[in-house]
Amino acid sequence: TPLDPNCSCYACQNYTRAYIRHLIKANEILGLRLTTWHNLHFLLNLMSEIREAISRDELLDFRDYFFSQTAAQKSN
């Protein structure tokens, strides 16, 4: 399974969570690069969604939705 099944980043589309964990545990730089790509992809998408919410004057609604989704994922 990927790091995040809903993510479209290069790392999630091409590598499994287990393989990335193996790379990190083996001190392979590729593991760090893949997790960095994943995190940057997430943050870029998040900022894009925030900008869109601001332009629609719906930032507070987006905030509530984002945190409800984050809480739901942590409970799984």
DSSP letter string over the chain? --S-TT--SHHHHH--HHHHHHHHHTT-HHHHHHHHHHHHHHHHHHHHHHHHHHHTT-HHHHHHHHHHHHHHHHH-
Q: What is the pTM of this model?
A: 0.85
Per-residue pLDDT of the chain (76 residues; tens, 9 = 90+): 999 999 999 999 999 999 999 999 999 999 999 999 999 999 999 999 999 999 999 999 999 999 998 887 777 6
